[in-house]
Structure 1
Amino acid sequence: MGGFNSGRKRRRNYVGMYPKLRASDLASSGVFDLPEGAEGVISWAGFYKGKALVSKQSGLIVLNISAEQRADTQLCIRHSTTACNYGGYRTWLYCPYCQRRVTFLNSVSEYGYLGCNSCLKLTYLSRNGDAIDRLHARIDRNDKKLSRAWARKHTSALSREYAAS
């Protein structure tokens, strides 16, 4: 009883595990510049392996997603823009469930349902670590800040110091 890896399995879903639909990706592909009632086709990496037929109707973006191994899915997403302090504007998407304004929507299921982190009960991996995980993350951050040569030289000295004690 109680052997290695015999405890409870982690059942949390993390933000980085699932594909995202980002407002910035839609803006860079020109979706928000479409005139009312116009349609266009977009495809983007990291979301679905397929294409989406996009139509814009009175503040809504309608995505008809067709993928290779799945039935077609239709998603209606509300969007808005806000002015930035130093010019330009920022585009926001609204969660279909709670109407929260977010910069990206996650897709957890293979059926194409989109939602914000709160509705889909997603959390960040960095929020769920213990003291050892935070220590490893801090070491990794510091190693990236230092030059590689300096880090290599002092890592070997540190390993000798820990091996001696």
Structure 2
Amino acid sequence: MRLRCSLALWGFWHGVLALILPQYDAQGPMLLELAQTREPAFDYVILAFTKVDDPKTYRAEVPLGVRIPSDQGVSLPMHASTLKIETAVNKYGRARQLADLDHIVCRAVPMPNSKEKAEWDISGVEKVWPWFSVRDGTVSLSDSSSRWFLAGQIASYECW
């Protein structure tokens, strides 16, 4: 009798739970508000650089979308000889392949001397410095024939 009663109660509760708990056969689509809160694929760009007086290669993280002054104590030099985008990483430190980095561009903006500042004040137009990408490879800032030639100190770095 007890066994029959237990089986009847188990059958009853099993049926009730089956009605209460939703049954899913396949994964449903992601809700729009969840899809819009996904994190960006990259947070930082790893720049490799050499200094004017040192041929050793150094690396530094540059946050995407932020202009970083070179005198802010970051490991970026004020006198760089070469720059190269090595990779991009997310906040967990996971790197991306070079083929995924085609849309990222970086540049070094020099500190203008007094003559350049005066010209910009008169014309009202500041010189636009060229961007470089992974496809450009290692860009030379110290070679006067280079498109990226910068004489003097670097005021800031930025990557987008």
TM score, norm. by length of structure 1: 0.20
Structure with greater Cα Rg: 2
Indicate the structure whose relative CO is greater, using CA pairs within 8 Å and at least 6 residues apart. Answer: 2
Q: Counting strand residues as a fraction of each chain, which structure ranks higher?
A: 1
TM score, norm. by length of structure 2: 0.21
